[in-house]
Chain A
Amino acid sequence: MSVGLEHFLVLSALLFGVGLFMALSKRNIIGILMGIELMFNAVNLTLVSFARFLEGAERLSGQVFVVFSITVAAAEAAVALALAVAIYRRRQTVDVDRINLLRW
């Protein structure tokens, strides 16, 4: 019995699915952000497992890409949580059902 690329891909897919469900269905804006972070993690895991298992001259590129992905995720989290706090200051809620200023 051994562990191959498919195992990691399936695990990443399941993790991405949980994150997508949270991002689409949570009422609290912070829950949505947690789902997005889970999706980031799943994609990073996919990149690292491709870098580990596939042949190629530039194999380490997958890991370098994950470094950038983590950087962008940190920036995204900072701005998104600042937005959540700013919305709360103005509207006293972080419920996305009640943040509907842009609804036509």
Chain B
Amino acid sequence: MEDVGSVVAFWLLGALTLGAALATALVRDLVRAVVALVLSFLGVAGLFVLLSADFLGVAQVLIYAGAIAVLIVFAIVLTPRAARDNAETAMRLPALALAGALVGLVMAVALATDWGEGARQGFADTAAAIGEALLSRYVLPFEVASVLLLAAMLGAIVLVRED
């Protein structure tokens, strides 16, 4: 990715994604944290499109920024008398140290390894190719995923049913 458009898009989308994620972690009010989280999801969708994964970008907007965000908002409004603040427990500093150590380790590995990047261009059309792969090579995981979704849906209904 040498062209100016890709570079500018990467830095803008990266700053948006990471800044929104930090806002999710730091903002005091839970509803505002959800709004920042949606912004972060949209930034990741933009990065998917930049990486020539156009189908996944659309799926990210539909499922993460749409469905999961709505689910989280529903969970917040269904727990009305609980605290709405986004505060940390007493484990704040150990958690920060552990997360920082893991980030340092992963970054060191990512920068030290020679990945042997190909000079290949991005994909031309991913939606058709993903559909082909899902219904030929990956048909068994595809069916298992549909059973998993059915089980999760029934489980969610049973868990929140009032009787």
Contacts and interface: CB of A to CB of B under 8 A. Distances in A.
A52 B53 contact: yes
B52 A85 contact: no
B138 A16 contact: no
B89 A54 contact: no
Contacts of A11: 14, 17-18, 47
Q: Interface residues of B toward A: which range?
A: 35 or more
Q: Interface residues of A toward B: which range?
A: 35 or more
Give the interface SS of chain A, mostly helix, strand, loop or mixed: helix
A24 B90 CA distance: 10
Contact of A10 (B37, B111, B116): B111
Given A38-B24, A60-B123, A86-B159, A3 B1 contact: yes
Interface string A46-69: 001101111100011101101110
Interface in B94-118: 94-96, 98-100, 102-103, 106-107, 110-111, 115-118
A74 B88 contact: no
B56 A81 contact: no
Nearest to B118: A55
A53 B115 contact: yes
15 contacts: A6-B115, A7-B10, A9-B106, A13-B110, A15-B18, A21-B96, A22-B25, A24-B98, A34-B24, A34-B37, A34-B72, A37-B64, A41-B44, A41-B64, A54-B115
Given A25-B91, A78-B156, 9 more contacts: A8-B47, A10-B110, A13-B103, A15-B17, A18-B22, A28-B30, A34-B24, A55-B116, A72-B148
